[in-house]
Structure 1
Amino acid sequence: MTQISSQHVPIDRLMTSAAQTAGLPIRRDGQAASMLRRYRNLVITGDVLVSASAVAAAVWLRFDTETPWFYAITPVVAPLLWLAFLAVNRTYETRFLASGSEETDRVVRAGLALFTLVAVGSYTLAGNVSRAIVLFSAPAIVVGSLTLRWYLRQRVHNARRSGRGVHRTVIVGRHDAARHLISMLQRASYRGLAPVAACVPDLQGLRPGDIDGIKVMGGPEDVLDVVDRVGAHTVAIVSHPDLAGHELRRLSWALEERQVDLLVSPGIMEVAGPRLSIRPVAGLSLLHLEKPRAHGGKLLLKAVVDRLFGTFLLLLFAPVLFAVALAIKLDSRGPVFFRQTRVGVDGREFAIVKFRSMVVDAEARLAALASSSEGNGMLFKMREDPRVTRVGRFIRRYSLDELPQLINVARGEMSLVGPRPPLPSEVATYDGDATRRLRVRPGMTGLWQVSGRSDLSWEESLRLDLRYVDNWSIGMDLSILWKTIRAVLGSDGAY
């Protein structure tokens, strides 16, 4: 077998395979592509029905008797406009189908564009468009399309977890990098990339037989032969210096003939797709990494929406807040609320507000219980904490003790979604990486909340918070809020 440590991969060998030499066709399972086609067709059909239904309902509610001709045709025109805006925002492209927050973000952007067009168009043309119809139908269309996609996405993810509709993937690269990628893909099986073989260099005769259960079937010079043998749909290259430049280009040509996708890992950790783009310079394709959206107009919009929505939720949950406050007062002596200093955006301190769920002298008892902590090393956590009151145990289970933080959101000290608000003692121990958590407002919920809550280690919590700071988007916020509702109702990781 040809060594590659001191020379380039022999691409001429890559351009042929046993199957091609024999003139045999390469047959691959088309289930993955078929599943995405069905997903796209169902989404398009659903978008038409959702938009037509939303507008028809709005017109019917507005005109309960005789409907003007202009409004009578809107259930036909609205689906065409909605499909056009969704197409412009590339929601129907294969790369974004069933992708989660990225798909959600693009649908929301399409909805905002549609709403703006109707509002501005009506004003510019001095049209007498009913504001009630616009205000009802636009949000209804967006919510309906998002709900439709969530339902269909769950079906796709469940099918992929069971091994149906996945892209059979060959991993190519150094042993350590290949192991990491295989591990990540196996954990995220719902994404649809299933490792079936690996090609790693034979360094001094130490090529392993398998990597985490995935068979090593050769080296980087054997990629096409392995692709043909396993019927792969995708080749993923990670950290291999010899598969670059012209060699990588010629490999892409050979894979193109087989209709096999090529993925190349840029080696950048925890960076979402929207921040990555290709910038052509002097015939080279350079990977451009956009700056995080920690500042600017979109973050200002997020702050305004947080305050308005936080105030609305505070009024909406007022009866629940009153009932919990009364229960706490009747259950044990002491104040209803618990206030504690936390650190917010740019290191500014504020007093977080929660319902009191422990006895009054809880802080004084902490030292005696320190050895029983089940937390992540940074925070004290204990499943059967004797300091928690009877009412406190109930409101903690369903996160009702967190509801008064809506006051902090309405004040602008916190956000609905963001990193966990740290204690000053935690911030004092932060290194350079951890301080990035303070670039955005802390949130009532976040990736840490929907990924295990109290069961996460400090390193995992930090990694999730930094991922949020670096990759924030409207779609990500909506996805987290939805997952939070599911996590709270299931009381996952809460104690």
Structure 2
Amino acid sequence: MIQSASLSAFPTASEAWRRRAFFRRGLRAGDIAIILLVVACVERLCHVTGREHVGSGVMPALVMRALLITAVAVTWGLLLTKADVYRDRVLGHGATEYKRVVWATVLEFAGFSILGYMVGVRLPTAYLVSALAISIVALLAWHWAARRRLIRLAAAGSLAQPAYVVGSAGAVASAIDELTRQPGLGLQIRGAFVSDAAALDGRPGLPVPVIGEVGSLQETVESSEGIAVVVAEDSGLTSAMIRRLSQSLGAEGRLIMLPPLLQIASSRLWMRSDRGLSAIEIQQPRVDVAHSPLKRSSDIFASLLIIVLLVPVWLIVPPLIWMQDRGPILFRQTRIGLNGKPFKIWKFRSMRINADAELAGLLREQNRTGSPLFKVDNDPRITRVGAFLRRTSIDELPQLFNVLAGSMSLVGPRPQVAKEVELYDEEAARRLLAKPGITGLWQVSGRSSLTWEEAIRLDLFYVDNWTPGMDLWILLRTVKAVLLLDGSA
């Protein structure tokens, strides 16, 4: 949860908008600089406008070069603008922004190639492909760096757009919690309008001031400029009220709807509109995550590759564990896998011998016997070598052999013990429809800092919305977390 803050600590809506506009201009200037550099280099290498093609004078050749570079740069910039990469709804949104940058770049090169063919200019394929690759890498690197900067500035509040959340007290609290995990949205939650103010009595207050009930929202919107309104569940707003809000927000404002579809990936949502009727169709999952041949073959190939690449680790770690206390190298424990089937999970041992026998006593000492996550804070059972193995996630490496055996996957829900699975309700039990993974959404979205409910929600999102691209994204985030030693579980 975010903490309440004095409104004077926030930039005004107009200030935040001007800062974001300045940021967009800087991003656009960087794009233009990269485009000009790439086009100039390609033109020089390919000799597209050499004297032999243009004329006998130096000036005509120079003029032709300038016109060519300008034309390509302008059309490229227009394509990026047309792709909305500078709009608030795309800027800073990661994959969406990157896809649009790639689309605009590929389209520019395709058009440039077709135009060259039509006018009789033969572009060397090697140069063209190299220029395309360099352009994509350079632009993506620039937008990635800009996104990181944008997120930092938004988190600090300097680029954040003032926002108000509307809905029932419970829905507003959940929405604020979700929105604060998404700094890329560029929102600074300043207050809430609730549809059930009476529900606040006798319960902890919201993390932001309650401005009023939903009925007073329109007045606030009409007296403000450049704000965002986030509509959560049970807001009580009719379609007519939402249309009026949208009109009142103006060009600088944003209206964001958070329907009860947060656990469904956008790739499964289809907007349909016909004769004034707008509807959202939810597509069924296209691939069974537990029985995907692509996922299984990828697991086998990647596991074998990692095992071979990490041969030095297999040679160094076992002696270190054994010298610590002359105990076993590996730790084996029963976990619950696909469809509730038990299996033995393997890890490098990171705790002292007979650590399981001490668990119940430690949980009682910390008054955590009723906790669904059977974990001990500042666990004294972890050895010095084990602490290093856990911090670097090396202790998880033997699970690669679980992956080869088919009881686990590289990516999936976290494998849990039987006592934890016994606490599942019918909804949570759907985690068992996928093989447990060495890493997953749980780990890369906060790792061990997440609550039980949040971890279950992320695992269910993975089971319901799995795609190969999601696995790749999780693996890349895992590599980053391990290299930065960022919150290993």
Note whether the superposition's TM-score is higher than 0.5.
Answer: yes
Residue pair 1:292, 1:471 contacting (<8 A) in 2 also: yes
1:215–1:428 distance in 2 versus 1, CA, 3 Å: closer
Residue identity matched to 2:323: L
Rounded to whole Å, the distance in 1 between the matches of 2:76 and 2:305 is 29
Per the TM alignment, residue 281 of structure 1 is displaced from its structure 2 partner at its CA by 4.7
Map 1:457-472 onto structure 2 (within 5 A).
Answer: 457-472=451-466
Residue pair 2:227, 2:252 contacting (<8 A) in 1 also: yes
Rounded to whole Å, the distance in 1 between the matches of 2:299 and 2:30 is 30
Rounded to whole Å, the distance in 2 between the matches of 1:348 and 1:81 is 58
User: Which of 417, 426, 446 is residue 423 of structure 1 equivalent to?
Assistant: 417
1:167 aligns with 2:154: no
**Secondary structure of the structure 2 residue equivalent to 1:230:** coil
Residue pair 2:161, 2:187 contacting (<8 A) in 1 also: yes
1:392 aligns with 2:395: no
Which residue of 2 is the match for residue 443 of structure 1? 437
Which residue of 2 is the match for residue 361 of structure 1? 354
Rounded to whole Å, the distance in 2 between the matches of 1:169 and 1:281 is 32
CA RMSD of aligned residues (A): 5.0
Which residue of 2 is the match for residue 327 of structure 1? 320
Per the TM alignment, residue 319 of structure 1 is displaced from its structure 2 partner at its CA by 0.8
Residue identity matched to 2:454: E
1:351 aligns with 2:344: yes
Residue pair 1:421, 1:443 contacting (<8 A) in 2 also: yes
Which residue of 1 is the match for residue 261 of structure 2? 268
Residue pair 2:347, 2:399 contacting (<8 A) in 1 also: yes
Moved more, 160-169 or 89-98: 89-98
Residue pair 2:414, 2:437 contacting (<8 A) in 1 also: yes
Residue pair 1:329, 1:335 contacting (<8 A) in 2 also: yes
Rounded to whole Å, the distance in 1 between the matches of 2:341 and 2:174 is 38
Residue pair 1:321, 1:403 contacting (<8 A) in 2 also: no
Instruction: List runs of 5+ in structure 2 lacking aligned partners.
Output: 1-12, 49-68, 109-123
1:288 aligns with 2:288: no
1:156 aligns with 2:150: yes
Map 1:42-441 onto structure 2 (within 5 A).
Answer: 44=31, 94-100=88-94, 102-103=96-97, 147-186=141-180, 188-200=182-194, 212-214=207-209, 216=211, 219-239=213-233, 243-256=237-250, 259-281=252-274, 283-292=276-285, 295=288, 300-372=293-365, 377-441=371-435
1:290–1:313 distance in 2 versus 1, CA, 3 Å: same
Rounded to whole Å, the distance in 2 between the matches of 1:95 and 1:82 is 21
Residue identity matched to 1:275: R
Which residue of 1 is the match for residue 482 of structure 2? 488
Structure number with greater CO (CA < 8 Å, separation at least 6) is: 1
Residue pair 1:104, 1:475 contacting (<8 A) in 2 also: no
Rounded to whole Å, the distance in 2 between the matches of 1:459 and 1:178 is 17
Which residue of 1 is the match for residue 54 of structure 2? none
Per the TM alignment, residue 142 of structure 1 is displaced from its structure 2 partner at its CA by 6.8
1:34 aligns with 2:29: no
Instruction: Give the TM-score taking structure 1 as reference length.
Output: 0.69
Map Cα deviations across residues 224-261 of structure 1 (whole Å, 9 max, x no partner): 431243323322233457532344334434444x5532
Rounded to whole Å, the distance in 1 between the matches of 2:376 and 2:290 is 41
Which residue of 2 is the match for residue 73 of structure 1? none
Per the TM alignment, residue 350 of structure 1 is displaced from its structure 2 partner at its CA by 3.5
Rounded to whole Å, the distance in 2 between the matches of 1:322 and 1:186 is 44
Rounded to whole Å, the distance in 2 between the matches of 1:96 and 1:297 is 33
Rounded to whole Å, the distance in 2 between the matches of 1:84 and 1:309 is 41
Rounded to whole Å, the distance in 1 between the matches of 2:29 and 2:285 is 34
Per the TM alignment, residue 435 of structure 1 is displaced from its structure 2 partner at its CA by 1.7
1:371–1:197 distance in 2 versus 1, CA, 3 Å: closer
Per the TM alignment, residue 479 of structure 1 is displaced from its structure 2 partner at its CA by 4.4
Residue pair 1:271, 1:467 contacting (<8 A) in 2 also: yes
Rounded to whole Å, the distance in 2 between the matches of 1:470 and 1:372 is 38
Residue pair 1:375, 1:457 contacting (<8 A) in 2 also: no
Map 1:18-29 onto structure 2 (within 5 A).
Answer: 28-29=14-15
Residue identity matched to 1:157: I
Per the TM alignment, residue 324 of structure 1 is displaced from its structure 2 partner at its CA by 0.6
Rounded to whole Å, the distance in 2 between the matches of 1:445 and 1:138 is 34
Per the TM alignment, residue 401 of structure 1 is displaced from its structure 2 partner at its CA by 0.8
**Secondary structure of the structure 1 residue equivalent to 2:326:** coil
Rounded to whole Å, the distance in 2 between the matches of 1:341 and 1:99 is 40
Which residue of 1 is the match for residue 60 of structure 2? none
1:310–1:255 distance in 2 versus 1, CA, 3 Å: same
Per the TM alignment, residue 432 of structure 1 is displaced from its structure 2 partner at its CA by 1.1
Residue identity matched to 1:395: L
Map Cα deviations across residues 293-342 of structure 1 (whole Å, 9 max, x no partner): 55279954344333322221211111122111222233333432223333
Residue identity matched to 1:488: V
Rounded to whole Å, the distance in 1 between the matches of 2:35 and 2:297 is 32
Residue pair 2:221, 2:245 contacting (<8 A) in 1 also: no
Residue pair 1:35, 1:165 contacting (<8 A) in 2 also: no
Which residue of 2 is the match for residue 24 of structure 1? none
Residue pair 2:24, 2:86 contacting (<8 A) in 1 also: no
Rounded to whole Å, the distance in 1 between the matches of 2:360 and 2:326 is 22
Residue identity matched to 2:258: S
**Secondary structure of the structure 2 residue equivalent to 1:95:** coil
Residue pair 2:337, 2:415 contacting (<8 A) in 1 also: yes
Per the TM alignment, residue 169 of structure 1 is displaced from its structure 2 partner at its CA by 2.1
Residue identity matched to 1:405: Q
Instruction: List runs of 5+ in structure 1 lacking aligned partners.
Output: 1-26, 57-66, 71-75, 115-127
Aligned residues: 441
Map Cα deviations across residues 22-79 of structure 1 (whole Å, 9 max, x no partner): xxxxx944336515634752674587599889x99xxxxxxxxxx9999xxxxx9x99
State the identity %. 37
Per the TM alignment, residue 158 of structure 1 is displaced from its structure 2 partner at its CA by 0.6
Rounded to whole Å, the distance in 2 between the matches of 1:409 and 1:245 is 50
Residue identity matched to 2:261: I
Residue identity matched to 2:186: G
1:113–1:427 distance in 2 versus 1, CA, 3 Å: farther
Residue identity matched to 2:371: G
